[in-house]
Amino acid sequence: MTNVSGGTLRRRPAQRRSAERVERMLDECAKLLDEVGYDALTTKEVARRAEVPIGTFYQFFPDKHGLVRALALRNLEAFLDRITARIQDAGPSDWTGMADLAIDEFVAMKRSVPGFGVVDFGEVLSAPGGPALHGTERMLDAVLENNVVVADRLRAVIVDLFGAPVTPGLDRALVVAVEAADAVLKLAFRALPEGDPELVSECKRLVRRYLSDYLA
């Protein structure tokens, strides 16, 4: 079920039925984002398709923005779960393999996860390659930008699985790496609807070479 935090929901679902309703609303939100885009998305249509009363919608979400914010958080949790599971099952032995794996998982989610091409980790995009709608750079946190939150969560995975040193330099480097990867992957999806594989490869190369000074 969705891992909600930081006031993303108005209230946490206390019962399984309520939690399932929240998940259905997020699922329908994701599908509608692919079908009609963010601007045409309405809370009324999400509730109708999720088969919940509109009053129930507003018990959990304050508005459309809050709904999409919760979807972005769910996407981030799913991304972290996917890369952690792959590393633990048959994963790389060092951070360079994890960097490649994380980029591969992001690209796979862009190609297959409903709504991820419009809202991945917070930014609302007009298309998988951008541009982003103004005012959506802090969807995951009231103060921190989305990519800073993503970098912090990835740092926790790297420290936990590979024992990387926790330093301010590494924190800063991961923010730079996430920002750079974000820009190059947007370029890859502008070049080709499924993501230009050569640009994806360049993204991996860029991230590995840059982070090698901090994680070698």
What number is the average pLDDT over the span 116-136?
92
How many structural domains are present in the chain? Answer: 1
Residue 108: pLDDT over 90: yes
Whether residue 111 is contained in a domain is answered as: yes
pLDDT tens-place string over residues 131-171: 899 989 999 998 999 999 999 999 999 988 888 888 889 99
Q: What integer is the mean pLDDT of 97-111?
A: 96
Cα gap 33→11, rounded to integer Å: 24
Give the residue from 205, 195, 200, 146 showing the smallest Cα distance to 175: 146
Q: What gap in Å lies between CA 93 and CA 9, rounded to an integer?
A: 38
Question: Considering the domain boundaries, does residue 42 fall inside one?
Answer: no
The reply to whether 14 falls in a domain is no
In the predicted model, is pLDDT for residue 83 greater than 70?
yes
To the nearest 10 degrees (0 to 180), the angle between helices 168-191 and 197-215 is 170
For the stretch 171-193, pLDDT in tens is: 999 999 999 999 999 999 999 99
Please, are residues 74 and 26 in contact by the beta-carbon 8 Å criterion? yes
Q: With pLDDT > 70 as the criterion, what percentage of the chain qualifies?
A: 93
Helical (H) or strand (E) element with 151? helix 146-162
Q: What is the CATH number of the domain that holds 196?
A: 1.10.357.10
Residue 57 resides in a domain = no
Q: Considering the domain boundaries, does residue 24 fall inside one?
A: no
Does 34 map to a domain?
Answer: no
Neighbour-count burial of 46, counting CB atoms closer than 10 A to its CB (0-12 exposed, 13-18 middle, 19+ buried): buried
pLDDT given for residue 165 in this prediction: 81
Query: Model-level pTM?
Result: 0.91
Domain that holds residue 172: 71-215
Would you say residue 11 has pLDDT above 90? no
Tell how far CA 204 is from the center of its chain: 18
Q: Return mean pLDDT, the chain.
A: 91
Q: What is the pLDDT of residues 36-77, one digit of tens each?
A: 999 999 999 999 999 999 999 999 999 999 999 999 999 999
- What pLDDT was estimated at residue 142? 87
- Residue 19: inside a domain: no
Determine, yes or no, domain membership for 86.
yes
